[in-house]
Amino acid sequence: MTPHVSVVIPTRNRRASLERALASVDAQRFRDFEVVVVDDGSDDGTTSWVRSQHPGITLLETGGPLGAAAARNLGVQHSRGGIVAFLDDDDVWHPSVLAVQVAQLDANPECDLCTTGHVEVDRQGRVFQPDLRPLNRYSDSMIHFLAECPIHTLSVVACRRTVFERLGPFDSTLAVVHDLDWYLRVIADGGKIAHHSPALVERSVPGGLVTQHRRWFREEQAVHNRFFDAHAIERREKRLVRALRALFFAKVAFANGDFAFGLVRLAGAVLASPVDALRIATRRLSRRSLRDTPETWDRQAWEVR
């Protein structure tokens, strides 16, 4: 019998965190789903552990490592559900995630994918809620996603299988920003996104992106240039996007002690649009991320026994 939802989890050498991720899937209140784990070249015993502890899971091996995009593509290709939900191996779902996502897509037949809110948990176990308020007003969704993509992890995303049938797989040449490229392709094709604001996903931070910020920047620039060339985007909006992203990467670089890269990006922001750079920097400095546990955060609901 074909499952309603396919849960695709790429993994590599994270057996301990994968165990917690799978426990959060097992705890789902919505039960009509299959789980597809794609092992991307682990050498820590992940495959044997999955086979012995979760024999009902579909386990695929890339023979890699090939990267997250290729692993996700393989998982989608070998899954059967009409809805595909993604979970990173170091993230955790609230027990209601699948129920909410299925309800979202049922209630919004015009939408290709749906997302939920999330909280972020650092290495010390501190929980905080990311500030997803846009720093600027944008003329359309594509400019918003180019300037400051509001989806920080695929673990909050569920989509209709028809999206992949229509637009093709993730771009496996992109090691870091294949998700951004995919969102932009959905939007460019006229796709719509439904969003459920309450936080139903626990995202582990910092992820690999933080330690790969130079590669992240290069790939993002290539994706941006591709969409700038393919779509009629006004020059002033291109300058805004470039200034805002340069400021973002300057912040990431400085936080990681890469001062040379950070200074170059800071100069790039000013060159792209000095007025926008000053305005966005001032606005960003005036905001404070919520570092305390949100009132809506029910920690006990996340305890998976």
pLDDT tens-place string over residues 218-236: 999 999 999 999 999 999 9
Whole-prediction pTM value?
0.92
DSSP lists the bridge partners of residue 159 as 84, 113
Same domain, 223 and 272: yes
Same domain, 73 and 107: yes
Are 89 and 17 in contact by the 8 Å Cβ rule? The answer is yes
Same domain, 195 and 240: no
Same domain, 15 and 82: yes
> CATH no. for residue 152?
3.90.550.10
pLDDT, position 292: 45
**Which contacts of 69-72 are long-range, i.e. CB under 8 A and separated by 24 or more positions?**
69/169, 69/170, 69/171, 69/172, 69/173, 69/174, 69/175, 69/178, 70/40, 70/170, 70/172, 71/10, 71/11, 71/12, 71/38, 71/40, 72/8, 72/10, 72/38, 72/154, 72/170, 72/178
Same domain, 181 and 198: yes
The model's confidence at residue 209, banded by pLDDT at 50, 70 and 90, is: very low
Same domain, 115 and 88: yes
Q: How far is 91 from 80, CA to CA, in rounded Å?
A: 23
Query: Would you say residue 137 has pLDDT above 80?
Result: yes
Same domain, 183 and 255: no
Whether residue 99 lies inside any domain: the answer is: yes
Whether residue 154 lies inside any domain: the answer is: yes
| DSSP SS3 for 48 | helix
Same domain, 135 and 238: no
Domain span including residue 247: 211-286
Residues 68-89: pLDDT tens digits? 999 999 999 999 999 999 999 9
Residue at which a domain ends, from 208, 238, 262: 208
DSSP state of 175: S
Centroid of chain to Cα 142: 16
Whether residue 294 lies inside any domain: the answer is: no
Whether residue 69 lies inside any domain: the answer is: yes
Whether residue 126 lies inside any domain: the answer is: yes
Whether residue 305 lies inside any domain: the answer is: no
The model's confidence at residue 267, banded by pLDDT at 50, 70 and 90, is: very high
End-to-end CA distance of the chain: give it in Å, rounded.
Answer: 29
Same domain, 149 and 244: no
Residues 42-75: pLDDT tens digits? 999 999 999 999 999 999 999 889 999 999 999 9
Residue at which a domain ends, from 190, 208, 226: 208
Same domain, 225 and 147: no
CA proximity to 245, closest of 214, 212, 208, 217: 217
Same domain, 37 and 163: yes
Residue at which a domain ends, from 148, 179, 208: 208
- Measured N-to-C along each axis, helices 15-26 and 46-53 cross at an angle, to the nearest 10 degrees, of 30
DSSP lists the bridge partners of residue 201 as 93, 118
pLDDT, position 194: 96
| DSSP SS3 for 113 | strand
Same domain, 221 and 201: no
Whether residue 89 lies inside any domain: the answer is: yes
Q: How far is 149 from 238, CA to CA, in rounded Å?
A: 15
- Our count of domains for the chain comes to 2
Residues 150-206: pLDDT tens digits? 999 999 999 999 999 999 999 999 999 999 999 999 999 999 999 999 999 999 986
Whether residue 295 lies inside any domain: the answer is: no
Query: If you search the block for the tokens 């990681």, which residue do you land on?
Result: 256
Q: How far is 156 from 251, CA to CA, in rounded Å?
A: 25
